[in-house]
Structures are given as C-alpha cells and as structure tokens.
Amino acid sequence: MMSEFWNERFAADEYVYGTEPNAFFRQELKKLTPGKILLPGEGEGRNAVFAAQSHWQVTAFDSSVEGRKKAEQLAARQQVQLNYQIDSYDSIDLEAETFDCLALIYTHMPPGSRQAYHRKLSTFLKVGGTVILEGFSKAQIHNNTGGPGNVDMLFSTEELQADFAGFASIDITETDVELSEGPFHQGTAQVIRLVAVK
C-alpha cells in the first residue's frame, strides 16, 4: 500500500521535503490571479501553505494521514487555512470545472494509471485554468537525488503531451536543477516542467 509507505516517511519529525514551496511552483503561481487551487498528492503541505499565504483558496488531498497532520501543523504555524482531504486519485470526487489552478508537484503515479489520473484531475479545472507540473524526467533514473526507482513512473515530454492533449496551450521543458527540498530531494536532478492552459 502506497499510503503505508508515505505514512512511514512522513511520520519523521522533520519535514522530509522541507517547508519551503517548490521553486518552479512558486515562480509560476506568482504569475496567476489568486482563485481556487487543487493540490493532489500534497504530502506535508509546503506548496499548499504557500498558496494559502498567496491568497489562494486551497484544496489538497493525499492518502497519507501523517502527511495531512504535518500540513495542518505547518498551516497553523503560518496562520492559514487549508481544506486538506484524505483521499486517493481513484476515489477523489470533486465538482467539475471548479478550480483555477491544478498543481502537480512530484506526483509520480503508477504507470498504468498516470494518463487516466491526469485526465480525471483535469476535469476539475475550469476552462482557462492552469496546470503547473514539475516532476522527475526519465533521465533521473540514473541519479540518486530523488524520485521513484521505476523508470515507468518518471515523466517524458511525449507522455505529458498526450495526457494533456486538448488543452489550449502546453509548454513543456526538460532541464537540470539543483534541488534542495529536505533530505529526499537534494542535488542535481533531471526534471520536467509543464505549464498548460485548459
């Protein structure tokens, strides 16, 4: 069970991916007018709390009870409100075309389900809404700086283009970054970044 894996990881006292938002997410969110944002697979809440501090109305979900606990502690420290649900990609059920932004930050999914999950999550986004995605590209399989050890769970440009086909615009970049996001994301990494407008 993936929820058991994440509960074990997030049970540590420290924030295993840090408390600062992902740099690409921070950069791209600042370009948008605050509205409603959905953060799937949000873990310990660093990006959700940043969004709330930036005047977004935040809905987040994760399968990890320990992740939510730490997200709520971080939100309380920063004096912001989150709607954080315990849910899975399979069972999450939200109103269609509700959100202005969908942020997928290191949400690596089982290979057979990725496209279906991306398409399902996209239905919750309003027309004109923005997807912000950063994850590890297939080249990251050769590094030990973070990410799943299964190359099929890593992203390619072609896969993401197919997942978000039908969007009005898609901008995808593969690049090297220096990660410093808690003990599990440290050092040079190969990532893929997507900004798409529905």
Give the residue extent of every domain in the chain: 2-197
Say whether domain 2-197 belongs to CATH 3.90.1150.10: no
Largest CA distance in the chain: 43
94-152 pLDDT, tens per residue? 999 999 999 999 999 998 999 999 999 999 999 999 999 999 999 999 999 999 999 99
Over residues 70-96, mean pLDDT: 97
Query: Which pLDDT belongs to residue 183?
Result: 81
Least trusted range by pLDDT, from 60-74, 78-92, 148-162, 173-187? 173-187
Asked if residues 38 and 92 have their Cβ atoms less than 8 Å apart, the reply is no
C-alpha distances in Å from residue 54, one per residue of 12, 75, 182: 27, 13, 22
Asked if residues 42 and 61 have their Cβ atoms less than 8 Å apart, the reply is yes
Residues 6 or more apart whose CB falls under 8 angstroms from that of 37 comprise 29, 51, 56, 57, 58, 59, 99, 100, 101, 102, 103
Q: What are phi and psi of 52, to 5 degrees?
A: -65, -40
